[in-house]
Amino acid sequence: MKEAKFTIKFIILPVFLTIVFNFLEYGLIWDRANKFLYPMLLAAIFIANMQVSKLRRFSLALAYGMLILMIFLYLVNQLNLSNIIGSAGFAVLIITLLTYLPELIKKGYLEKF
């Protein structure tokens, strides 16, 4: 049973999340291998937030920092870099907020549907 939990947590779940994030980011076009780096990073952030709850605050600060950097880069007319950093910051923010949901439901702030 212990091996099954390990396999699900560290082998099957990252691959599944990478495929889901890749589909959300690029759709059904999987033409280059380097397009898997960004979804793999998002999957790693999601799994790390679920496993270590103290990382949630750091990822929230990271997301806010990336969004502030996006605004600054937009103001200095670096539109491509601003788009990349803003997209990553928003994705990290959504992932971090999703990892807070089980805790909010458990404490009774949100009800299950």
Compute how many other C-beta atoms are within 10 angstroms of the C-beta atom of residue 2. 6
Q: Which residue has the higher pLDDT, 26 or 74?
A: 74
Note every long-range contact of 53-56, with CB atoms under 8 Å and residues 24 or more positions apart, other chains counting. 53/103, 56/96, 56/99, 56/100
Express each pLDDT in 35-89 by its tens digit: 788 888 899 999 999 888 889 999 999 999 999 999 999 999 999 999 989 999 9
* pTM exceeding the 0.85 threshold for the entire prediction: no
pLDDT band at 113 (very low <50, low <70, confident <90, very high): low
